[in-house]
């Protein structure tokens, strides 16, 4: 039961963090492209690389920490469904260049951020 509670707690904090970062970024840097979603996905991808190495290779933690941090917090902090909707919204509006740029940037930056998080954490 504790594992479910830990995922729920991590998810609540992750969702609140994503909402805050996305709202702040959208107000601070208004744009037609949803850079707030891109930002949380890239940051979350970087963090999951770090957490993965720390929890699986460096630090021995209780069994509920991995799902709390990775599935709960980072799963709620990042958002593939919002990315999908925003991409499709650009396509449906005929903004094909925006859609292509957003999709390409998201995939390249998120995968690179995860790789960077893993690599940096393993190095240090």
Binding-site residue numbers for Na(+) are: 75, 78
Could you list the residues known to form a binding site, using ranges: 75, 78
Other beta carbons within 10 angstroms of residue 84's beta carbon come to 11
State the Cα–Cα distance between residues 117 and 52, nearest whole angstrom.
9
Q: State the residue for tokens 């770090």.
A: 50
Q: Quick one: DSSP state of residue 114?
A: H
Radius of gyration of the chain (CA): 16
Where residue 94 falls (left for φ over 0; alpha for ψ -120 to 50; beta otherwise) is: left
Give the up-direction half-sphere exposure of residue 68: CA atoms within 13 A in the CB hemisphere. Answer: 14
């Amino acid at each position: 039961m504790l594992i479910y509670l830990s995922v729920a707690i991590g998810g609540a904090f992750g969702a609140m963090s994503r909402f805050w970062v996305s709202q702040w970024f959208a107000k601070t840097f208004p744009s037609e492209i949803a850079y707030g979603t891109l930002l949380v996905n890239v940051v979350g991808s970087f963090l999951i690389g770090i957490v993965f190495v720390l929890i699986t290779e460096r630090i021995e933690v209780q069994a509920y920490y991995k799902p709390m941090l990775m599935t709960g917090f980072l799963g709620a902090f990042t958002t593939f469904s919002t990315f999908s909707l925003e991409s499709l919204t650009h396509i449906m509006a005929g903004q094909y260049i925006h859609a292509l740029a957003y999709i390409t940037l998201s995939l390249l930056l998120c995968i690179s951020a995860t790789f960077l998080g893993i690599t940096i954490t393993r190095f240090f």
